Amino acid sequence: MNPSTAITTLFLDIGGVLLTNGWDRHSRRMAAEKFKLDYDEFNERHHLTFDTYEEGKLSLDQYLSRVAFYTERGFSREEFRAFMFAQSQPFQETIDFFLTLKKRHNLLVAAVSNEGRELTAHRIEQFKLKELFAVFVSSCFVHFRKPDADIYRLALDLTGTQPQNAVYIDDRQMFVDEAQKLGIGSIHHRDLDTTRRELGFLGLT
């Protein structure tokens, strides 16, 4: 990316950048232990249906019916949902950094994330993400998932941004690579210090 190009828009992933992942392998293993599920069966069912949930084509209850409540259980859906939601924790220093950067440089900030609807709604409310994001290009709302190029194109269209005026930040290298193919300047997020330094090279200090 040319450091002299004016950056007007930030596209940020949520899980792995601003918050912990909403429902990753570690969380599912803890759920299996807590609720005494067969992890291998639970995880296989998860992989067979989770993409559909993230694309907004299933409700959380429908997802849970497929992965856990296809048979009688000794725990309730409400207990399981509460456990799922409790796995989300903030990286508060990173959130504060991007809030400051947004205000200092008058940036438009949009989320570009793969998440299911109920988890997305919980995370937006719980961690006050509307203070940072003007637009949520979340897979559950737009029915595209990264690395589908259409989700990045839609983010550009919804924000009225040219690729050269945007920076995309994600903790997954593949997703960064796909955004770069569209001409969007991208940063592979490893930690806050590294991302802060790379943004500084672009004049976003």
Considering only the top CATH level, what class is 25-86? mainly alpha
**What residues does CATH 3.40.50.1000 cover in the chain?**
9-21+90-201
* All residues at 6 or more sequence positions from 1 whose CB lies less than 8 Å from its CB, including other chains: 164, 167, 185, 202
Architecture in CATH for domain 9-21+90-201: 3-Layer(aba) Sandwich (3.40)
* All residues at 6 or more sequence positions from 138 whose CB lies less than 8 Å from its CB, including other chains: 111, 113, 114, 115, 120
Check residue 1 and give its pLDDT.
55
pTM beyond cutoff 0.75: yes
**Structure tokens belonging to residue 6:** 């004016």
DSSP helix/strand/coil, 172: coil
**What residues does CATH 1.10.150.240 cover in the chain?**
25-86
The residues of the chain scoring below 70 in pLDDT are 1-4
Report the distance separating Cα 122 and Cα 48, nearest Å. Answer: 24
Left if phi > 0, otherwise alpha if psi is -120 to 50, otherwise beta: which for 155? alpha
Check residue 205 and give its pLDDT.
87
